Structure 1
Amino acid sequence: METKNKPYIISEGKLDYELGELRGQQILYDFDKMLVYLEAKGQSLFGHGFRLYEEDRDILFKLCNYAIQDKTMCKKLGLDPQKGILLSGPVGCGKTSLMTLMRYLTPHRKPYKMIPARNIVFGFNYLGYKTIEDYGNTQFFCFDDLGVEPMGRHYGKDCNVLGEILISRHDLFLKTKLKTHATTNLNAQELEQLYGNRVRSRMRELFNLIAFEKNSQDKRR
């Protein structure tokens, strides 16, 4: 929880984490202090065994600067602050944990909801196309594990559910700049094979790609 009128000071239990300082109307964040907070918050969410890894520092630097919407640094890093984030990498590298944590860095902004992609398909199988409509609305979402969900099937008709939702989210982005985030184990070629060129081209407009190295360690082991 943020300290009242000071969103750069976040309270966790009895501790206050000062992520930066206020100069005039601008918050100047300190990256190392942000990491201290993120590790502490990660331990409260995922258990005391959680930790951040030095090898992921570059990924964290990009995610943190994007989260605080530092436009100057985002430009240097090749990130568009208006687009969402597509965080890709091998199984177990920490994508879901990091995207979950980033929601807490800026408590003064509306957080996105973390939604497993497979759960959306299960909802479609039961409710049908209403599910696609529900995720094509004006809420903020991060679709977790994009690309490993099964094909949707409702009353005998197959549907690439997430592909249809991404098209709807792209339409919203063009109209309102509403952001969509996602995590995935797949690379660009695999995503195109799964969703087709039409969806893949829209994903380029929807997302900034931030990718872990292919040989990133599995932190679950």
Structure 2
Amino acid sequence: MRYHAPHIITEGAIQYPLGTLNGREIQYDFEKILIYLDAKGKLLFGKKFKIHREDREILYKLCLYFIQDKARCTQMGIDINKGLLLSGPVGCGKTSLMKLMKHIVPHQRPYEVVPCRNIVFGFNHIGYKTIEDFGNSQFFCFDDLGVEPIGRYFGKDCNVIGEIMLSRHELFINHKRKTHATTNLNAAELEERYGNRVRSRMRELFNLVAFDKGSKDKRM
């Protein structure tokens, strides 16, 4: 992927303008961003991918966050300095959207989307170094937060993702490093899973952006 200017993204032989350049500022156009996201989604996930009309509101919030439109984000109660916790029912498209959204801002530092259960499997093999690795200064989106198994290393149980969240919070406070995540769980379920201390850190780490509870399963 190449881009000639931050507002024009080139995929193969096709150029996608996401807006217009006004001096050094990009005036983004939401409809144009959706055209690009639909095309990029098909490249990443196959021809069946599509942008669903009922997701426009959530996409609008995500777009405002990623293009760092501070004024509009503030109106919507989104802090552009915090990460995103994208929540919603199984199959509503959270993971795909988090894999997709970073492509509209190729000039920003990308984050890696990592399934929480894979992190726990890694911990079970190599132990506490896993927590260090994911608590480091890289940018991550932790996928499927809260449904991973408890970690177990040399007979000792560990709430691996809970420990990583504490490290990520420290990183956020000291170095402004953002963390993103997706989850099927609500706030009460997250607190039950990780405890009050981690849940309160999550409030500081994340903006909560939630799909409607009735969002359909797009994998059907």
- What is the TM-score of this pair, normalised by structure 2? 0.99
* 1:115 corresponds to: 114
Q: 1:128-171 CA distances to partner (integer Å, 9 max, x unpaired)?
A: 00000001110000000001100000000000000000000000
* 2:95 corresponds to: 96
1:2 and 1:8 in contact (8 A); partners too: no
1:2 and 1:9 in contact (8 A); partners too: no
Q: In the aligned structure 2, how far is the partner of 1:126 from the partner of 1:216?
A: 37
* 2:193 corresponds to: 194
Q: In the aligned structure 2, how far is the partner of 1:207 from the partner of 1:3?
A: 30
Matches for 1:76-91 after TM superposition, within 5 Å: 76-91=75-90
1:20 and 1:33 in contact (8 A); partners too: yes
* 2:69 corresponds to: 70
* 1:24 corresponds to: 23
Instruction: Report how far residue 2 of structure 1 moved.
Output: 3.7
Q: How many residues are matched?
A: 220
Matches for 1:23-172 after TM superposition, within 5 Å: 23-172=22-171
One-letter amino acid matched to 1:67:
F
| Structure 1 unmatched ranges of 5 or more | none
Instruction: Report how far residue 7 of structure 1 moved.
Output: 1.1
Q: In the aligned structure 2, how far is the partner of 1:109 from the partner of 1:214?
A: 31
Q: In the aligned structure 2, how far is the partner of 1:72 from the partner of 1:43?
A: 31
Instruction: Report how far residue 100 of structure 1 moved.
Output: 0.4
One-letter amino acid matched to 1:92:
G
Q: In the aligned structure 1, how far is the partner of 2:13 from the partner of 2:43?
A: 13
Instruction: Report how far residue 39 of structure 1 moved.
Output: 0.5
Instruction: Report how far residue 14 of structure 1 moved.
Output: 1.1
One-letter amino acid matched to 1:179:
K
Question: Which contiguous aligned blocks of 4+ residues in structure 1 show a shift greater than 6 angstroms?
Answer: none
Matches for 1:9-20 after TM superposition, within 5 Å: 9-20=8-19
| Structure 2 unmatched ranges of 5 or more | none
Q: In the aligned structure 2, how far is the partner of 1:2 from the partner of 1:33?
A: 18
One-letter amino acid matched to 1:218:
D
One-letter amino acid matched to 2:130:
T
1:145 and 1:183 in contact (8 A); partners too: yes
Instruction: Report how far residue 25 of structure 1 moved.
Output: 1.6
Instruction: Report how far residue 3 of structure 1 moved.
Output: 2.3
Q: In the aligned structure 2, how far is the partner of 1:61 from the partner of 1:197?
A: 31
Instruction: Report how far residue 24 of structure 1 moved.
Output: 1.3
Q: 1:53-74 CA distances to partner (integer Å, 9 max, x unpaired)?
A: 1111110000001001110111
